[in-house]
Amino acid sequence: MKENHHSTHWACFDCRKSFAKTESETARKCPECARAMTDMGAFFEPPRKLNVKRWAIMKILADYDYRFNTKDSFIYIQNRILQAKNPRAADVIERIELEKQLKQNDD
Ligand SMILES: [Zn+2]
Q: How far is the CA of 107 from the centre of ligand 1 (A)?
A: 39
pTM: 0.90
DSSP letter string, the chain: ---SSPEEEEEETTTTEEEEEE--SSPPBPTTT-PBPEEEETT--PPPTT-HHHHHHHHHHHHTT----SHHHHHHIIIIII-SSS--HHHHHHHHHHHHHHHHHH-
Q: How far is the CA of 101 from the centre of ligand 1 (A)?
A: 34
Q: How far is the CA of 27 from the centre of ligand 1 (A)?
A: 13
With a cut of 70, which residues of the chain have pLDDT below it?
1-4, 107
**pLDDT in the model for residue 1:** 45
**pLDDT in the model for residue 106:** 77
**pLDDT in the model for residue 6:** 85
Q: How far is the CA of 30 from the centre of ligand 1 (A)?
A: 5
**pLDDT in the model for residue 105:** 84
